Each structure stands twice: as structure tokens, then as C-alpha cells.
Amino acid sequence: MTKQSIKKAVVLLSGGLDSSTTLYYAVSKGYDCHCLIFDYGQKHKKEIIQASFVARRAGCKGVVVKISLPWKGSALLDNKISVPKNRAMETKGIPVTYVPARNIIFLSFAASYAEAIRAKTIFIGANAVDYSGYPDCRPEFIRAYQAMLAQGLKTSVEGKSIKVMTPLIHLSKARIVKLAVNLKVPLHLTWSCYNGKSKPCGVCDSCRLRAQGFAQAKIQDKALV
């Protein structure tokens, strides 16, 4: 494969199940993946460490970008706001773990990185099936963001648009788990918990959605072994 024919992609990588599966999916499709890992003031650094491990295992470059969101506004950022435990998942409304405009911010960094390295694709592990109800994980948001990129980038004006890919957006957590196994994602390295202790808490939204997915897929979660 020549340098001209290599497909470059920027992958948003948090180190969780969805983003790690997305990375391995992109690799399986022949992309030369450049991972963006964000240190945005989370209460713990566990996910940053695990994301770096996953990127390295995939043989991909991982760049940790440190940004500051001093206004907080989320249980993931503010020590004064507790992460909900055993929350009723069918409850309407957006939970306190929502980080204001997070995917807008992350995708904007990804678009800048993609333009700089001449990548034509951005991968994000957004999911709108088994998720906590964040508005920036929905197909409507991705379509709107794609439209914005078409108007706001030099590459778009020159007819070389950057495509945002969301391979998991319509998959249940069980299907994502099965895909991860098929792609040989190092699941023992992934970290989904909102808390940064030595082991997943098992009671936050992310842990419970992950556990539900593994249970429905009838697959053991190696991160818990």
C-alpha cells in the first residue's frame, strides 16, 4: 500500500467499551488510526490510562489532549456533584453525568486534527440505543455536526470533506459486545466506570449498561476478572 492510498482517520478514544470497539472497527477497515484521548478535568485519570493502553495494543498513535472546563457542570467534573448509583434507567431527562457540549468540543478537536494530518474520516463511538440519554449521542446531532463541517472547513470548501463515522450508533450494547469479541478488542483493558477506583463500581449508569450488554450477549466481561 502506497502512502497516497493509506486511509487516515482520527478516532475519539475514551478507553471505554464503545470507543475501543470503534477503534478496532476502524483498524479492521484498513484505516491508519490516530487516536485522540482527552484529559478534560475528569475526577479520575483511569480512563486516560486505559485509553492509552488500548491505542498501543491496537498499534495506533495516541495523543492525549489536556483541556480545561473550569465551569464544571457535570458529576464527572465537579466533586460537589455525586455520580448517581442504581439510577432508574428508564427515567426521562438528562442525567447529571452529562458534560455540557462534550462531543461538540471533542469532535471540533478531531476535525482540526483531521484537517492538519489530511485525514478524511473521524470515528466516534456514539450510541443511541443503550445509553444514558445524552443529546450529543443521537443521529440527529451527528447529522447536524456533519452539515456544520461541510460549511466550516477549508477542506470542505476545496471539495475534500471530512466524514464523521458512527459505526455503533444503532447497535444495542449486546451487539457491541459481540462485535468487540469478533474484532478481538482487549476488553480487559477497557474502562467504562464513571468512578476511578481499582475495580468498576458496578452501580453507575455506565457500569450497569455495560453489565447488561455482556449479560445479554452471554459473554464474560474480562475487565471484571
Give me the architecture of the 3-220 domain, per CATH. Answer: 3-Layer(aba) Sandwich (3.40)
Helix, strand or coil for residue 12?
strand
Decide if 214 contacts 180 (C-beta within 8 A). Answer: no
The answer on pLDDT for 3 being more than 60 is no
Can you read off the three cell numbers belonging to residue 67?
483541556
Share of the chain above pLDDT 70, in %: 98
User: Maximum CA pair distance of the chain?
Assistant: 53
List, in order, residues 6 or more apart from 87 with CB less than 8 Å away.
95, 205
- How many Å apart are CA 207 and CA 214, to the nearest integer? 11
Quick one: pLDDT at residue 91? 73
Rounded mean pLDDT, 193-214: 95
Distance CA 27, CA 21 (A): 10
For residues 156-181, average pLDDT: 96
Give the ranges where the chain is alpha helix by DSSP (H): 17-28, 46-57, 102-117, 139-152, 154-157, 173-182, 205-217
Q: How far apart are CA 198 and CA 208, in angstroms?
A: 17
pLDDT at 36 over 80: yes
Q: What is the mean pLDDT of residues 132-146?
A: 95
- Residue 105 scores a pLDDT above 70: yes
pLDDT > 70? residue 102: yes
| SS3 at position 172 | coil
| pLDDT exceeds 80 at position 109 | yes
Residues 156-182, mean pLDDT to the nearest whole number: 96
- Does residue 4 carry a pLDDT above 60? no
For every residue of 42-101, which 3-state class applies, written as one string?
Answer: CCCCHHHHHHHHHHHHCCCEEEEEECCCCCCCCCCCCCCCCCCCCCCCCCCCCCCCCCCC
Please indicate whether residue 132 or residue 114 has the higher confidence score (pLDDT). Answer: 114
Task: Average the pLDDT over 181-201 and give the result.
Answer: 95
pTM assigned to the model:
0.95
How much is the pLDDT for 5? 56
Reported confidence tier of residue 178, pLDDT bands at 50, 70, 90:
very high
